[in-house]
Each structure stands twice: as C-alpha cells, then as structure tokens.
C-alpha cells in the first residue's frame, strides 16, 4: 500500500486535518468545529478520511498532532510526532512562501506572531491572557448582532468611515460598539472600526515592538475575515498575504513535519478509530507532592494514553 502523512491540529474552536501523499500533494483537508468535544471532532474527520484511504489503498506513514489539544489527541490516535502550533504554522508558511518574514496567526482563543529569517524561526510571541482580537470574540460579536461570521466579514469591508473602537479589552470593545450603535454609526463602520482596533491591539500588545517585515502572512480562522486583512494592511503599510490553505495551515504544517520525521513504522492506531468508543477520565497522581491531575484516554475498556503529568511518568 502507498503511504500518506497525516497532520491533525486541534484548537479551541476548530479541528483541522490534512493528509498528504509522498509528493506533498494534499489528498484530504477538513475543517470542523470542535463544539466542546475535541475527541468527537477528530473522529468525524477520521470517518471521512478512512473512506478516502480505503478507496486509494493508502496507509498512514506517520502522524503529527499540534494545537492546544495535541497531547490529548496524540495519545488517542498514536501520534509519532507532537509539535506546538508555532512550529507547525511556521513549517506550512515556509513551505508555501519560502521568503516569508512575518507570520500572524490568530486562532480561536489566542494570537501569535512568528518572525522568520532565511527560512528559520528566530522569534515569536503569544497572547494567552485576553480573548480580545481572537476568533472567539469575533464569533460572540457576530452572534450578538445576529449575523454569521461570514456576513460580519462582508459588511465590514463595505465601510466608508470606520469608527474608532477601543480594542484592548473584550468588555470595553463590546461596550464601545454598543455605544457607537446607539449614537447612530452604521453597522458597517462599527464592524470595520472593530477590525482596525483588533489589528492595532495585535501590533501593540502581541508583537510589542518586534519588526513586522514583509512578506507578511496572515493565517488561522480569522484570516478568512476580509475586514481583518484590510485592517492589517492599513496598519502595516504593506500587502498581507492570505495563503491558499489558510484555514488548515496548522494541520498542513503538522503533516509536513510527520513526513520529515522519517518514521520507519507509525504508531497510528488505525483509520477505523472513528468507530471506537473513546472517552476520558480524570485521576490525581499522588506519587509526589505535585499531585498532577492526569487525564486517561480510554478506548472501550483499555487505557491507551495519559496526559497532564509534569514529571514524564504518566
């Protein structure tokens, strides 16, 4: 059978899966909402992938997981490589745009900037404290306005006079948006004002003086928002590139890292894993004063993995 390489990126909002052949062609890509259950979201993707693998008579040569749920899903799936999202997104960006200097990645709950020189990551920063400027905040504003996130994007770029919105805090930003709404500003101008505020907040609070040199790539779920792209271009004074696989860049980079790991025999637990009854159980390890809360991954009645330990014992 032919070998393929699988990357799985499990974040707070979405699960992304990419399957590559040996020539680095994407045979399968999936983007699904986590909806509070990362295990079920991965199983939904694997159900689709299993059919394709059967049709093409392929097997998994290596698997890499990334994202905030990488340890959990790595243990569940039998990952050969587990990498943080900085590494995965950078690998994908460099593959598609070898001359990239700045990678802006805005996810569901955090924001990241990665600085690249000559194809090598030399610096990065993350915002993990506040949801201002992340996908979850934009989702909440779309729900408040009773519009889809796609409609939020379309309306923002119709703005002719973006209003000034306070973007350093989600609470203040929402209050400011409501205030401007009551003053009579158009919804389009308020939404574009929000996009500008989020771009300014990212540059001031996340990048914090780092040199954001072109070429600049914007990736992650928020990169689909045309207003955010325009706001970053306005703030940076240069073109902002949205790569062709922008919604699944983490999984794409993970699949590339899996391919480059030169795994002789994969630990992957099988494409039919989507049919298994998998659940988790929390236990406290009392072997030392750390008292780590361990999560056990249980497939039917067998413990197939553990995460959460700080000493490596698990």
Sequence spans of domains, the chain: 1-97+247-275, 100-242, 277-314
| Span 274-292, pLDDT tens digits | 999 999 999 998 888 888 8
pLDDT at 135 over 80: no
pLDDT at 56 over 60: yes
Question: The tokens 């540059």 sit on which residue?
Answer: 203
CATH number assigned to the domain covering 1-97+247-275: 3.30.420.40
Distance CA 7, CA 19 (A): 6
pLDDT at position 148: 83
pLDDT at position 111: 86
Distances (CA, A) of 72 to 50, 77, 115, 258: 21, 9, 28, 17
pLDDT at 175 over 90: no
* β-bridge pairing 293-299 and 278-284: antiparallel
Distance CA 70, CA 77 (A): 10
Distances (CA, A) of 209 to 44, 123, 197, 215, 271: 41, 12, 17, 17, 46
Highest average pLDDT, of 73-87, 107-121, 159-173, 277-291, comes from 73-87
pLDDT band at residue 87 under the 50/70/90 scheme: very high
Distance CA 77, CA 36 (A): 19
pLDDT at 308 over 70: yes
Distances (CA, A) of 118 to 79, 121, 122: 30, 9, 10
pLDDT band at residue 130 under the 50/70/90 scheme: low
Topology alike, domains 1-97+247-275 and 100-242: yes
Residue 248: closest CA among 140, 107, 136, 151 = 107
pLDDT at 94 over 90: yes
Q: Does domain 100-242 have CATH number 2.40.50.140?
A: no
pLDDT at 169 over 80: no
Question: The tokens 């780092």 sit on which residue?
Answer: 210
Distance CA 233, CA 1 (A): 46
Q: Which two tokens stand for residue 95?
A: 């593959």
Looking at every residue in the chain, the average pLDDT score rounds to: 90
Mean pLDDT, residues 269-276 taken together: 93
pLDDT at position 128: 60
pLDDT band at residue 12 under the 50/70/90 scheme: confident
CA dihedral 222, 228, 230, 235 (to 10 degrees): -120
E strands within the chain? 2-10, 14-20, 26-33, 58-66, 81-82, 102-106, 111-117, 120-127, 216-219, 240-241, 278-284, 293-299, 302-307
pLDDT band at residue 150 under the 50/70/90 scheme: confident
| Span 202-258, pLDDT tens digits | 888 888 889 999 999 999 878 888 999 999 999 999 999 999 899 999 999 999 999
Element at 72 (helix H, strand E):
helix 70-77
pLDDT at position 168: 67
Distances (CA, A) of 167 to 15, 132, 190: 27, 7, 12
Start-to-end CA distance of the chain, whole Å, equals 35
Q: What is the pTM of this model?
A: 0.89
């Amino acid at each position: 059978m032919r070998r393929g390489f699988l990357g799985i990126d499990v974040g707070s909002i979405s699960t992304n899966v990419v399957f590559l052949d040996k020539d680095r062609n994407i045979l399968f890509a999936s983007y699904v909402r986590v909806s509070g259950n990362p295990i079920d979201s991965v199983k939904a993707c694997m159900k689709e992938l299993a059919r394709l693998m059967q049709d093409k008579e392929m097997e998994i040569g290596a698997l890499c997981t990334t994202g905030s749920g990488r340890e959990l899903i790595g243990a569940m799936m039998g990952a050969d490589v587990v990498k943080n999202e900085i590494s995965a997104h950078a690998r994908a960006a460099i593959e598609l745009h070898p001359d990239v200097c700045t990678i802006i990645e805005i996810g569901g709950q955090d924001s990241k900037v990665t600085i690249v020189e000559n194809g090598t990551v030399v610096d990065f920063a993350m915002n993990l404290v506040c949801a201002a400027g992340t996908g979850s905040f934009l989702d909440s504003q779309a729900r408040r306005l009773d519009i889809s996130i796609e409609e939020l994007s379309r309306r923002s770029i119709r703005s002719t006079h973006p209003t000034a919105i306070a973007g350093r805090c989600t609470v203040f930003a929402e209050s400011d948006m409501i205030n401007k709404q009551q003053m009579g500003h158009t919804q389009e101008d308020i939404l574009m004002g929000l996009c500008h505020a989020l771009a300014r907040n990212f540059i001031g609070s996340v990048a914090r003086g780092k040199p954001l040199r072109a070429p600049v790539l914007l990736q992650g779920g928020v990169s689909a928002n045309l207003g955010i792209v325009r706001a970053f271009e306005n703030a940076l004074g240069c073109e902002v590139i949205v790569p062709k696989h922008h919604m699944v860049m983490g999984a794409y980079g993970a699949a590339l890292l899996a391919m480059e790991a030169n795994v002789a025999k994969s630990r992957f637990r099988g494409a039919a894993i989507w049919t298994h009854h998998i659940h988790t159980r929390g236990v406290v390890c009392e072997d030392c004063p750390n008292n780590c809360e361990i999560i056990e991954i249980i497939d039917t009645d067998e413990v197939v993995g553990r995460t959460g330990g700080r000493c490596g014992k698990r």
